[in-house]
Amino acid sequence: MLFHASLPPRPRSRVVIPSLWTVLVLFALSTALMPACTERAPAGPSPEAQSLDSLYSAYQDYCMRNYPSWATYEGDHRFDNRLTDWSVQGFARRLDSVKLFRRVAANTDTTQLDEEQRLNRALFIREMDMAIEAAAFNDHYIPFDQLSGPHLRMPQLIESQPLETPDDYEAYFSRLRGIPQLMAQCEEQMKYGISYGLVPPRFVAEQVAAQMRSIGEHTMGRSPFSRPLRQGEADLGQYYPDLYSTLKQILEEDVNPAYLNMATFIEQNWVPVARTEPGIMALPKGAERYAFAVRYHTTTTRTPEEIFAIGEQEVADIQAQMEALVDQTGFDGNLDAFVQFLRTDSQFYREKGPMMAEYQRILDRADAALPELFGTLPEAPYALKEIEDYMAANAPQAYYYSAPEDRSRPGYFYVNTSDLSSRPKYTMTALALHEAVPGHHLQIAIAQEIEDLPWFRQNLSATAYVEGWGLYAERLGYAMGEGQHGLYSDPYQRFGALTFEMWRACRLVVDVGLHHKGWSRQQAVDYMLARTPNSETDIRAEVDRYISMPGQALAYKIGQRRILALRAEAEAALGERFDVRDFHDVVLESGPLPLELMEQRVRSWIREQGGGPA
């Protein structure tokens, strides 16, 4: 969410932007001096459109200044020595700014805007409204969970922060020296949360404490904060002879004590008062919180009960497909026995080296097949990486980190190589297609490279679109490469694809069960154990993720179902004129959108292609 300091970023290029207050003053002056009417439309963008463009640029600058870690991630290195202000006053100031952005955009006369400019304005106001509504729930009173928070983003920031010159290291050291203040600000937020009953489940608090201790107890040689020194020390020695000793001192005097002190605070103050119920309903305004989370992540008005029913139907449909595929393998037994066979037979698991090599082979084959399905391909590269040790135990199977537009680094397809007995090889193809190509990397990189798309549109709150595309991309594996089944060349890989479909269908049931129906953590685990071949380790990590991120798990199936329905509609309307490459370009060419707006775009394209009143 745009308001939250823990906002997960997507990168964009560095630009020179006027300050917020300069833009707002100029906007007011230009509006006041604008003639009441004109006989002819002015050449080029109208004054209103130009003012809104300036407002969007000011908003980008506001985000970079207020979320400097995000700026670094995006390739804007003006603030590489700063950290986000997590103080109560900092959050209040940011909320005031968001309200001001919203007010200025809402006061714009739309009569001189074209259709795309009106869409930009409406989406910008929507973003501000969502941020303002989210702020009322004070989620920042729970600054950490086992998957995200400043404690994990700080060491991972090393992947984005330039560390090549002495000035780079000075900025990095300044950031590290700010960690004690950051932790103190988070502690202040947690104290407010405790007083208002805004606390995490006990197991989350315990996992976070363990993460804090793990990072804080690392010595210089093993600390995640010292990783860049291993590559840069030799080259920088002549300019910065005390590089090693300076970093060692900062870790020993600032960083490690801050992490260990926070671990102690959590153990003594957070864990004892942590809630026993996993669902968001246990928090103040629980029903309103979940209703907002559902609306935010699905970009629809579906109720939890409706989503639960969709999930149950999807689970039944996919289970029937899985049973049919088991018969095709010749396995002597039912679906439950087959699942147990997959979970326990060593032939379905690899060592780390062969696993990473196989992922690269899958990606190479997917890259080669992209032109068959897409007219537009991105220029941004991506790379395969392992999830860092300090995050792996509580991390999902994989995830994607996008590239900055300045291409100073590639996008990263991160793979979890911990506990390899829970990482089956038969799901690798679907996982790679979802997280890399043609999934998240393709979709996000294309959005970055759309000309004249305002920066805020690159970061639009449209989880169902983004994750729906990722899940849709898994099915594209059947049309990629040679053979009847494309990249899913054997029945086990095809069963793996169905496994992921089932996994996302179960999410609809489990997420609503946890946060709306009062399910226990074990109930959710048991439900998924009975219906998916995922290992128990993986399922427990997934359930814990749904508990920490209410509503997010709903986005995948809800978004995929809408894309599949629109494709079927286009195929039926256009017949032989349907070109899947054009369909994919239409879905992707506007960047992330709420599902209703994506649907309008696709149906307009169908009409333009002569498909009738779609």
Q: What is the Cα–Cα distance from 533 to 530, expressed in whole angstroms?
A: 8
Q: What is the mean pLDDT of residues 488-507?
A: 95
Q: What is the mean pLDDT of residues 350-377?
A: 97
Cα 543 to Cα 392, 510, 520, 549, 552, distances in angstroms: 16, 8, 10, 10, 12
- Spell out the alpha helix ranges (H) of 516-593: 521-529, 536-548, 555-574, 580-588
The 8-class DSSP code of residue 269 comes to: I
Two tokens, residue 160: 């984005």
pLDDT single digits (tens) 207-219? 999 999 999 999 8
Residues 6+ apart with CB under 8 A from 423: 349, 350, 355, 397, 416, 417, 538
- Band of the pLDDT at 238, cuts 50, 70, 90? low
What amino acid occupies position 531? R
Query: What are phi and psi for residue 529, nearest 5 degrees?
Result: -60, -35
Q: What is the predicted pLDDT for the residue at 243?
A: 84
- Band of the pLDDT at 396, cuts 50, 70, 90? confident
Stated as kind and residue range, the H or E segment containing 385 is: strand 382-386
Residue predicted with more confidence, 113 or 10: 113
Q: What proportion of the chain, given as a percentage, has pLDDT over 70?
A: 90
Length of the chain equals 614
pLDDT single digits (tens) 423-457? 999 999 999 999 999 999 999 999 999 988 999 99
Q: What is the mean pLDDT of residues 505-530?
A: 98
Q: What is the mean pLDDT of residues 195-222?
A: 95
Q: What is the mean pLDDT of residues 381-391?
A: 91
Cα 520 to Cα 201, 212, 278, 527, 600, distances in angstroms: 11, 26, 7, 11, 39
Cα 241 to Cα 166, 222, 223, 229, 247, distances in angstroms: 10, 21, 20, 12, 12
Query: What are phi and psi for residue 504, nearest 5 degrees?
Result: -75, -30
Cα 471 to Cα 114, 307, 557, distances in angstroms: 34, 17, 7
Bridge partners (DSSP) listed for residue 384: 413
- Band of the pLDDT at 613, cuts 50, 70, 90? low
Find out whether 56 and 101 touch, Cβ atoms under 8 Å.
no
- Band of the pLDDT at 240, cuts 50, 70, 90? low
- Band of the pLDDT at 404, cuts 50, 70, 90? confident
Q: What is the mean pLDDT of residues 473-499?
A: 94
Q: What is the predicted pLDDT for the residue at 406?
A: 79
- Band of the pLDDT at 517, cuts 50, 70, 90? very high
Q: What is the predicted pLDDT for the residue at 38?
A: 42
Find out whether 576 and 482 touch, Cβ atoms under 8 Å.
no
Q: What is the mean pLDDT of residues 225-240?
A: 63
Q: What is the predicted pLDDT for the residue at 220?
A: 85
Residue 17 pLDDT exceeds 90: no
The 8-class DSSP code of residue 478 comes to: G
- Band of the pLDDT at 159, cuts 50, 70, 90? confident
- Band of the pLDDT at 405, cuts 50, 70, 90? confident
Give the full edge-to-edge strand order of the sheet including 411-415. 382-386, 411-415, 398-401
Question: Buried b vs exposed e over 311-331: b needs ≥16 C-beta within 10 Å?
Answer: beebbeebeeebeebbeeeee
Residue 341 pLDDT exceeds 90: yes
Identify the CA nearest to 489 among candidates 572, 554, 445, 426.
Answer: 426
Two tokens, residue 426: 């038969």
| Complete DSSP assignment for 404-416 | PTT-SS-EEEEE-
Q: What is the predicted pLDDT for the residue at 234?
A: 46
Look up the pTM and report it: 0.90
Two tokens, residue 394: 């509580």
Q: What is the predicted pLDDT for the residue at 9?
A: 38
Identify the CA nearest to 453 among candidates 56, 50, 23.
Answer: 56
CB atoms within 10 A of CB 384: 19
Two tokens, residue 264: 């102690």
Q: How far apart are the two ends of the chain, measured CA to CA in Å?
A: 33
Q: What is the mean pLDDT of residues 564-587?
A: 97
Residue predicted with more confidence, 241 or 3: 241
Mean pLDDT, rounded, of the chain = 90
- Band of the pLDDT at 43, cuts 50, 70, 90? low
Identify the CA nearest to 135 among candidates 168, 170, 91, 69.
Answer: 91
Q: What is the Cα–Cα distance from 176 to 89, expressed in whole angstroms?
A: 22
CA 256 from chain center: how many Å? 28
Between 45-54, 74-83, 404-413, 582-591, the lowest mean confidence (pLDDT) is in 404-413
